[in-house]
Chains A and B, each alone.
Chain A
Amino acid sequence: NAGVTQTPKFRVLKTGQSMTLLCAQDMNHEYMYWYRQDPGMGLRLIHYSVGEGTTAKGEVPDGYNVSRLKKQNFLLGLESAAPSQTSVYFCASNQGFQETQYFGPGTRLLVL
């Protein structure tokens, strides 16, 4: 039982390049979330999903797209990376409203 895993762990992009971050969970959770963490700002919700095939915008969705084609996977895409997207990205999942969110180890992204 690996919990929540994220791929890759670290990536460097040039401005304008695109990439996809992969989040996978093996706990059969319905809900999945993408956050970004910036110094002095805590974690902010980018997008979330309440089930397979559904996605919704969070607090800071601009510049990102997501897809949840399979229940266990939640993909975060950057179509044209900008330096402002340099951050640490965390994925999380949980089963229900009162249930604990389990976080992945994070992806550190540097956009030059």
Chain B
Amino acid sequence: AQSVTQLGSHVSVSEGALVLLRCNYSSSVPPYLFWYVQYPNQGLQLLLKYTTGATLVKGINGFEAEFKKSETSFHLTKPSAHMSDAAEYFCAVSAVNTGFQKLVFGTGTRLLVSP
């Protein structure tokens, strides 16, 4: 079975500061890992994903994440926060061998950006 833990339901940063959103996963098989962003009253939009290959994954809007198997982590970072980054972020895991993409989501982290 797969599970995801997102540390911190809320993270506050100042505009221009580093953004770090933490995600740890549990999976009995090689995982596919995803970060989604949800803006208020909207659906989820994919930021980035890791399937195979390079462990440092770059996504949209300047975000990136690194898959660290030894730490079972997939933390999301952005060097400099922008006001428009304020949203809720979800980490998700999918098992490689399920035959379709069954996503298991974390509980989400709300990013607050102050001027």
Contact assessment for B100 and A31 in the assembled complex, using a CB-CB cutoff below 8 Å = yes
Contact assessment for B102 and A42 in the assembled complex, using a CB-CB cutoff below 8 Å = no
Contact assessment for A45 and B103 in the assembled complex, using a CB-CB cutoff below 8 Å = yes
Classify chain B's interface size: 20 to 34
- CB closest residue in chain B, given A30: B100
Classify chain A's interface size: 20 to 34
User: Does B114 interact with chain A (Cβ within 8 Å)?
Assistant: no
Given contacts A42-B107, A98-B32, A100-B49, contact A105 B43 (CB under 8 A): yes
Chain A residues contacting B42 (CB-CB under 8 Å) are: 105-106
User: Does B105 interact with chain A (Cβ within 8 Å)?
Assistant: yes
Q: Shortest Cβ distance from A36 into chain B, in angstroms?
A: 11
- CB closest residue in chain A, given B43: A103
Q: Shortest Cβ distance from A107 into chain B, in angstroms?
A: 10
Provide the main secondary structure of the chain B interface.
Answer: loop
User: Does B74 interact with chain A (Cβ within 8 Å)?
Assistant: no
User: Does B101 interact with chain A (Cβ within 8 Å)?
Assistant: yes
Identify the interface centre among B32, B42, B46, B105: most chain A CB within 10 Å of its CB.
B105
User: Does B55 interact with chain A (Cβ within 8 Å)?
Assistant: no
Chain A to chain B contacts (Cβ below 8 Å), 25 pairs: A4-B43, A31-B100, A31-B101, A33-B103, A41-B107, A42-B105, A42-B106, A42-B108, A43-B44, A43-B105, A44-B105, A45-B102, A48-B102, A90-B43, A94-B101, A98-B32, A100-B49, A101-B101, A101-B103, A103-B36, A103-B43, A103-B44, A105-B41, A105-B42, A105-B43
List chain A positions with a Cβ less than 8 A from chain B: 4, 31, 33, 40-45, 48, 50, 58, 90, 92, 94, 97-101, 103-106
Nearest 10 pairs of A and B residues by beta carbon? A103-B43, A42-B105, A103-B44, A43-B105, A42-B107, A105-B43, A100-B46, A98-B51, A104-B43, A50-B100
In the complex, besides A42-B90, A97-B101, A101-B101, 11 extra interface pairs with C-beta distance below 8 angstroms are: A33-B103, A40-B107, A45-B103, A50-B99, A90-B43, A90-B44, A97-B99, A98-B51, A100-B46, A100-B49, A105-B43
